[in-house]
Amino acid sequence: MNLRPYQSQASDAIFREWQTVNSTLAVMATGLGKTVLAADLARRMFPRRTLFLAHRRELIHQAADKITRATGLRCEIEMGDLRAAEHSLFSRAPVIVSSIQTQCAGGDGGGRMAKFDPWRFGCLILDECHHATSSQWQRVINYFRTNPNLKICGITATPDRADEEALGQVFQSVAFEYEILDGIKSGWLVPVQQQMVHVAGLDFSNIRTTAGDLNGGELASVMEAEKTMQQVAASSIEIIGRKRALAFTQSVKQAEMLAEIFNRHRNGSAAWICGRTRDDDRRRILTEYAHGAIQILCNCGITTEGWDDPAHDLQGVQVCIMAKPTKSRSLYTQMAGRVIRPLPNTVDGFDLEEDRKLAIASSAKPHCLVVDFVGNSGRHKLMTTADILGGKVSAEAAALAVRNAKKAGKPVNMTEALDDAEDELKRREQERLAEAARRARLVAKARFTTQDVNPFDVLAINPAVPRDPGKVGVLSEHDRRILQTQLGVNPDAIPYVQALQLLRERNRRFRENLCTFNQAKVLKRFGYATDMSFTEATATIDALARNGWRRVPRANASAPASAPQEVAA
């Protein structure tokens, strides 16, 4: 068994945790080989036995086959009519693979788990362990925990549950995390493109929230509308072309409707399955789908978790059609995760991530596409690929990437969109800081100007002394502008009572037709009194200008100067 670097790191991290705790959690995105990791744990645990538990019967045979092929260890299945041998020491398999339902089966007795002695096992591996807080799982876990030396490892792609129950009830630590974005950036998973399709009349705003997600019955009623399904099918056919697609639906009726409408557009292109589909029919449909005889598989609750597409047609599943909107990040991740795996034998054998990325780009599946259908979501925050890829970016960046994807009207590479959104927000922040710095410089310049010319000295008035220095008044924006533009005063640099004093003096001078503040500054500079009328001040300043800005006698101010004169001593 050749482990990928991150699988080897995960295995080592789990055994390190087991040195100090008995139960730990490993988070690994769909398509990154969680079952191979489980196989390595069983190999390293041997000769102590391992019990591998999953919650769906579809995963049991798949897991047993993978573990046997990866390790060479003999696996036996305990499920339905299949029973693992326990009586003879020599007939006991080193790995038992079973479903959680099988372990609990047995009516009022101890269940089928009672046939197994917890002390004969060294390791319990829980697949898709985000379900481990349920009563069924707890019953089995507690039974095997009667062996105090038992080591437990939970493996999941989605550690967050819609009902927010704490996995800390089961696991004492998190040994390892490697999520979708890590896998994409390292070249182990294909890039994810997102396309948003607006469906007229699609309205989720009146749907209630139940256990953290859209109410199932109410959502089904909305999604089962013929007009809605017609738009979903028509737009999907146009988008996917001849690519294989996996469609997720809220209800069995919706799955059947959607497949039927797809077949109206392209006869024989679609089929549907659900939990009630007969085993032989399900196997036949999945086999036909794997070989490309069926292009679109509409399913209700079958391929959400743990299902691996064998891709016998060498194209793989390239499109995920989300006809099941959700508020649950966990559920959305599981559904989208079905299409992010590269084609078999594409990336293994390359040591460098650049080589793996090039191999993916050159393959028949260079990326995957997730199609979301949007309408009026109201108060609901519905999941998108930004939510499953953006765990390490800000919420603002994720929201901006989604807005940009909605505007695009075409597939958008969401990894790049998230990076672009982060860059855009950084640019905006840099611009904001630059603008703040510019304003700070203006304020500093205004303060410097007020220190350069004392307005009280120019107007020949004594500044008022605040009676209560701690009391702060508030100037109107109009008064602040007058102080800044007409009197050259920064209103934040002087006491409130002095600001009022300057405003009153400015108004008095206006009423009495005295010179303005700017005129008074010029007169003060050349030694003239500042109580001139506006008309006198204008004539005096004009005479100064004509005289090359040298002082002239006041009596001659109104007549042109015959020759330049020196400023009087």
Same domain, 303 and 213: yes
Are residue 255 and residue 386 in the same domain, yes or no? yes
Q: Does residue 442 form part of some domain?
A: no
Structural domain for 104, as ranges: 5-178
Lowest mean per-residue pLDDT among 69-73, 90-94, 555-559: 555-559
Residue 139: partners with Cβ closer than 8 Å, 6 or more residues away? 104, 111
φ and ψ at 23, to 5 degrees?
-140, 135
- Whether residue 387 is found in the same domain as residue 292: yes
Domain shared by 197 and 271, yes or no? yes
Question: Is there a single domain that holds both residue 121 and residue 174?
Answer: yes
Q: Is the dihedral of CA 283, 288, 292, 295 positive or negative?
A: negative
| DSSP character string of 432-470 | HHHHHHHHHHHHHHHHHHHHHS-HHHHTT-PPPPPSSTT
Examine residue 563 and state whether it is found in any structural domain, yes or no.
no
pLDDT tier for residue 235 given thresholds of 50, 70 and 90: very high
- How many structural domains is the chain composed of? 3
168 lies in the same domain as 212: no
Report the distance separating Cα 182 and Cα 29, nearest Å: 9
The band of 331, judged by pLDDT with boundaries at 50, 70 and 90, is confident
Give the type of residue at 460.
Answer: A
- Among 242-246, 322-326, 365-369, 525-529, the range scoring the smallest mean pLDDT is 525-529
406 in the same domain as 465: no
The predicted model gives 162-174 an average pLDDT of 69
3-state helix, strand, coil in the chain (%, to 5): 45, 15, 40
- pLDDT number for residue 408: 85
Q: Which of 178, 202, 233 is the last residue of a domain?
A: 178
Distance CA(488)–CA(187), nearest Å, equals 62
Rounded Cα gap, residues 263 and 258, in angstroms: 9
**Is the residue at 438 inside a domain?**
no
Domain end, chosen from 151, 178, 205, is at: 178
For residue 407, is pLDDT > 80?
yes
Pick the last residue of a domain from 420, 443, 471: 420
For residues 406 and 480, membership in a common domain is answered with: no
* Average pLDDT of every residue of the chain: 85
pLDDT tens-digit series, residues 438-452:
776 665 454 444 445
Residue 535: which pLDDT band, with cuts at 50, 70 and 90? very high
pLDDT of residue 560: 41
Residue 552, pLDDT > 90, answer no
pLDDT confidence bin for 470, thresholds 50/70/90: low
Q: Residues 410, 510: one domain? A: no
The three-state (H, E, C) secondary structure of 361-381, written as one string: HCCCCCCEEEEEEEEECCCCC
Q: Decide if 522 contacts 543 (C-beta within 8 A).
A: no
In a domain, 306, yes or no: yes
**One domain for residues 200 and 96:** no
In a domain, 495, yes or no: yes
Residues 142 and 273 in one domain: no
CATH number at residue 327: 3.40.50.300
Mean pLDDT of 207-233: 91
Question: Which pTM was predicted?
Answer: 0.70
Q: Residue 308 carries which DSSP code?
A: -
> Quick one: pLDDT at residue 462?
86
> Same structural domain for residues 413 and 471?
no
240 within some domain: yes
The tokens describing 161, both together, are 């549950």
Residue 272 within a domain? yes
Average pLDDT over residues 183-202: 92
Cβ-in-10-Å burial (0-12, 13-18, 19+) of 366 comes to: middle
Domain assignment present for residue 170? The answer is yes
